[in-house]
Amino acid sequence: MKIFFKLLSAIILLTVFSSAIFAQTLFTYGNQSVTKDEFLKAYQKNNADKKSTEQSYRDYLELYLRYKLKVKAAYDLKIDTVAAQAAEMKNFRSQVVESYMNDDESLNKIINEAFLRSQKDIHVAHIFIAIPKNAAPADTLKAFEKATDAYNDLKKGKQFGDVVSLYSDEPSAKNNHGDIGFITVFSLPYELETLAYTTPVGKFSKIYKSKSGYHIFKNIEERKAIGRIKTAQVLFLFPPNANDDIKASVKQKADSVYNLLMNGGNFAELAKKYSGDNLSFQTGGEMAEFGVGKYDAAFENAAYALNKDGEISKPVLTNFGYHIIKRLSRKQVPETNNKETFEAYKQKVMTDPRNEYSKKALLQKALVAQNFKRSSIDENNLLIYTDSFLQHRPLPNFAGINEKALLFSFSNKNVTVQDWLTYARSVKDQKRTVNNKTTKDFFDQYLQTVALENYRDHLEDYNKDFAYQLNEFKEGNLLFEIMQRKIWDKASADSVGLKNYYESHKDKYWWEASADAVLFTSGNEKAATDIKKKLSSANINSWRKLIDSSAGAAQADSGRFELTQLPLPEEKSYVAGQFTSMNNNQNDNTSTFAYIVKVYHDRSPRNFNDARGFVINDYQAYLEDNWIAELKKKYPVKIDEAVLKSLVK
């Protein structure tokens, strides 16, 4: 016991020590401070592929420090209060907030569970005892007693199929004796899938109650998952109430089409002509990819029995008719739960009802985070009071219940009886949403709605990652706006400053070996070749007219280009009056060539107009450096060298 408490104390001390380390202040600017943790988070996000060294930390520290100074200047100018900034922030928040409205721990648990279940298929049989719609308590009891009788017969050793025939309300039970074939993850509703996957091989489950009735599963056998398959089919449907003679006629028709296929007939054309599948006949019989447990067991068994793509089955009998199946492709189940697989299962889970379990966990998390508290109001009395209100009857006189009474509260919000009554009336007025729900159901729904909406509206107070992303977006917007005002607009509009900067730095702006040229680009090599051929046989000065008449097939740009900057194959020499070779870009499938007007072999100075783009960039950097120097004076910067050096460790 002493060893346990020593170990526990060590863990607590280590946790506190680690938190203290990352809470250390790395630098301050004015009265603002940046912790080691904040800096590392930004560094790691922007330097994921770079080896971390003391120099790389120092280099990024200067960039980050300049960033924080600019944002501070933006706050001082109250740019964050500008209406456009607030609107962009609101729009961004609404876009990303839902991705944080999950309980990660429970969600990840469900995702990993789905992956594990996907690794095997289970052959199951099923007994179903239905509960009638709008059932009275006596009806529910009768169904339960019937399910109990079935369960007891199984315990006595009766064959599962015999018990199915005796008790099951499943319409297909008489034909399949409860055998529904193999299932895998996502084949059944989550609670029934769980029942199947938690029942040992050769055993039957306990009775499970769903909204529709009582269930007993038997796990007949298990196998390694056989994956998903894509097929096409020609379906020869049985007409309603078909007798044996009609079914034999349908079989004869299916056999004749099968023989046509075996003699080279076109599957797609025959599917369009003969298939009774209204969903697939127009696409040549092609069906959506599916896994086990999706269709009739006989159909699935025949589809998965096809050994190679393109193989065609003999006519397969199901309750619907005869199917001729063609295998199009087969996909194995991923055996490793890597990042890509995890994300794929996450997308499935997020759109599956099983995600409700994660949402329930989120609700509990939200209630705790918001310091949820119920009032002392008796809930049964409240529901009676609510029903009287909704039915416009005199309100009962219950102690503590009136419209102003507190119903429940959060740390930042109080909810009154009046709030609940307003909601209840709005739901009652929307009759389509009522169905068979009771006032108690709607009260529980109201509590959940209010709790999650309030949690969502203040999520940055409860979720550090969400708060970080919001702040990152906000500061990014502030940075853009302050740079626009202080640097970019000023540099572009200051013609005198630009020319003065150019005159003071002429020796920076030179033309290396270059050429006056017309650069032609097209979306594919054929179009580029056609344009080049037309240009070769025409006056080159008519190139604009030719490009305008190409209906967007080609674009052109004329000007002076340094030879090394031309996106062209390396030429031995560029000659005036000639076309260059064609360059085919594999990344975007574009093709480029040029017509050389004049070649400048020697290095020469750029005039102001030729150098303007470079001058603007350099002048912006000059203005920014001067501005940063002013900001450092206004907000003195102090770096803790010991903390900085500890980053490498």
The H or E element spanning position 114 is: helix 104-118
Domain boundary among 331, 356, 385: 331
pLDDT tens per residue across span 491-502: 988 999 999 999
262 shares a domain with 199:
no
Name the burial class of residue 248, with classes exposed (0-12), middle (13-18) and buried (19+) by CB atoms within 10 angstroms of its CB.
exposed
Name the burial class of residue 357, with classes exposed (0-12), middle (13-18) and buried (19+) by CB atoms within 10 angstroms of its CB.
middle
Q: In what order do the strands lie in the sheet with 32-35?
A: 32-35, 25-29, 637-639
Cα distances from 303 to residues 186, 254, 312, 439, in angstroms, run: 19, 17, 9, 49
Residue 467, token pair as written in the block: 């708060």
Using CA atoms, how far apart are residues 73 and 260, in angstroms rounded to an integer? 79
CA angle 114, 119, 121 (to 5 degrees): 100
pLDDT at 2 over 80: no
Mean pLDDT of the chain: 91
pLDDT tens per residue across span 94-143: 999 998 998 888 999 999 999 999 999 999 999 999 999 888 899 999 99
Instruction: State the DSSP code for 315.
Output: P
Check residue 427 and give its pLDDT: 86
CATH number (domain holding residue 518)? 3.10.50
Let me know if residue 620 belongs to a domain. no
pLDDT at 476 over 50: yes
503 in Cβ contact with 546 (< 8 Å): no
User: Quick one: angle between helices 439-457 and 379-390, nearest 10?
Assistant: 100
Domain boundary among 605, 622, 641: 605
391 shares a domain with 316:
no
The H or E element spanning position 504 is: helix 495-504
| Pick from 87-96, 328-337, 430-439: least confident | 430-439
Check residue 75 and give its pLDDT: 96
Encode burial over 252-288: b for 16+ CB neighbours within 10 A, e otherwise: eebeebbeeeeeeeebeebbbebbbbeebbeebbbbe
Check residue 552 and give its pLDDT: 84
> What pTM value is reported for the model?
0.66
The amino acid at 393 = R
Using CA atoms, how far apart are residues 526 and 182, in angstroms rounded to an integer? 53
319 shares a domain with 244:
yes
247 shares a domain with 167:
no
pLDDT tens per residue across span 364-375: 999 999 999 999
Query: Could you list the residue range(s) of the whole structural domain that residue 188 is in?
Result: 120-224
Check residue 131 and give its pLDDT: 94
Let me know if residue 354 belongs to a domain. no
Let me know if residue 204 belongs to a domain. yes
Domain boundary among 199, 224, 249: 224
Let me know if residue 78 belongs to a domain. no
Mean pLDDT for the stretch of residues 264-281: 91
Residue 218, token pair as written in the block: 């038997």
Let me know if residue 55 belongs to a domain. no
Total number of domains constituting the chain: 4
Number of CB atoms found within 10 A of residue 241's CB: 6
242 shares a domain with 210:
no
Check residue 523 and give its pLDDT: 86
pLDDT at 617 over 60: yes
Sign of the Cα pseudo-torsion (543, 544, 546, 550, in order) = positive
DSSP assignment string, 414-432: EEEHHHHHHHHHHHHHSGG
pLDDT at 571 over 80: no
Using CA atoms, how far apart are residues 436 and 134, in angstroms rounded to an integer? 8
pLDDT tens per residue across span 15-45: 434 445 557 999 999 999 999 999 999 999 8
DSSP assignment string, 167-225: H---TTHHHHTTEEEEE-TTSS-HHHHHHHHTSPTT-BPPPEE-SSEEEEEEEEEEEE-
CATH number (domain holding residue 316)? 3.10.50.40
127 shares a domain with 218:
yes
26 in Cβ contact with 640 (< 8 Å): yes
Let me know if residue 145 belongs to a domain. yes
pLDDT band for position 14 (50/70/90)?
A: very low
Mean pLDDT for the stretch of residues 529-550: 87
pLDDT tens per residue across span 542-556: 899 888 888 888 899
Using CA atoms, how far apart are residues 271 and 283, in angstroms rounded to an integer? 8
Percent of the chain at pLDDT exceeding 70: 95
321 in Cβ contact with 239 (< 8 Å): no
Encode burial over 28-57: b for 16+ CB neighbours within 10 A, e otherwise: ebeeeebebebbeebbeeeeeeeeeeeeeb
Mean pLDDT for the stretch of residues 147-174: 94
217 shares a domain with 163:
yes
pLDDT at 144 over 50: yes
| Pick from 88-102, 146-160, 582-596: least confident | 582-596
Residue 476, token pair as written in the block: 């990014």
Let me know if residue 137 belongs to a domain. yes
Instruction: State the DSSP code for 352.
Output: S
546 shares a domain with 531:
yes
Using CA atoms, how far apart are residues 315 and 322, in angstroms rounded to an integer? 6
322 shares a domain with 237:
yes
Beta pairing partners, 557: 519
Check residue 12 and give its pLDDT: 39
| Pick from 100-114, 425-439, 602-616: least confident | 425-439
- How far does CA 533 lie from the centroid of its chain? 48
515 shares a domain with 596:
yes
524 in Cβ contact with 591 (< 8 Å): yes
pLDDT band for position 77 (50/70/90)?
A: very high
The H or E element spanning position 321 is: strand 321-331
Using CA atoms, how far apart are residues 560 and 494, in angstroms rounded to an integer? 25
pLDDT tens per residue across span 301-341: 999 999 999 999 999 999 899 999 999 999 999 999 999 99
CA angle 225, 231, 233 (to 5 degrees): 135
Q: How many residues does the chain have?
A: 649
124 shares a domain with 213:
yes
Let me know if residue 175 belongs to a domain. yes
pLDDT band for position 206 (50/70/90)?
A: very high
402 shares a domain with 320:
no
